[in-house]
A = this chain, B = another copy of it.
Amino acid sequence: MARIKTDKNISRKDVIVNKAAILFREKGFKAASMRDLAESVGVEAASLYNHIKSKTELLHELCFSVANRFMHKIDTIETEQISSIEKVEKLLKFHINEMIHHYEEVYVSDREWKHLADPYLSNFQNQRRIYRKRFAAIIETGIRNKEIKKIDAPTAVLIMLHAISGIESWHRSTQKISATELEENMITILVGGLVHK
């Protein structure tokens, strides 16, 4: 009889959630079926329901575990006594590393949250909106301090966040540069711009 393998400190539910992340990333939430997921876990579809409540619950878990990490990070960065540019850089580095090391989770949270059901959906959208406002506020402080040039802060936030989601393509690339190089390049371009002055 097939059995879901577990190491210490990782429940069978965690195994399922992690496999779901991979599958949702590959196919999208709607296109990935519970039978697909069951196969990748090594079990029959019905057996999954001994560990999870529903397919949507898997999406909740993924989206909010990512959202919570980001919220926690911006909490601590806001209180630090460093320049605005340094705060932006720290935030960017965090995003980049999240994207590199928790690729599937972050990707799914980014692209598939639309399929959340409604108490969760509004909640998620709210968190997202708040996060972006707090990010924009850091940039606006930097503008007032003349550290950062006069730009529309919300637009800058959009650019940064979406630019980082481009790591998706890096992740699948065969001839890729190292993670450190990637991080350096991204910070250089986003903070310093393209132009050689």
Contact = CB atoms under 8 A, between A and B. Distances in A.
Contacts of A158: 163, 166-167, 169-170
Contacts of A155: 170, 177, 182, 185-186, 189
Contact of A28 (B114, B167, B186, B193): B114
A111 interface: yes
A114 B57 CA distance: 24
A30 to B, nearest CB: 4
A72 interface: no
| A interface, over-half SS | helix
B28 A194 contact: no
A87 B170 CA distance: 24
A195 B161 contact: no
A148 B197 CA distance: 8
Nearest to A132: B169
A28 B158 CA distance: 21
6 contacts: A147-B195, A149-B188, A156-B185, A158-B163, A158-B169, A192-B195
Q: 5 tightest A-B contacts by CB?
A: A193-B193, A162-B166, A158-B166, A30-B30, A149-B196
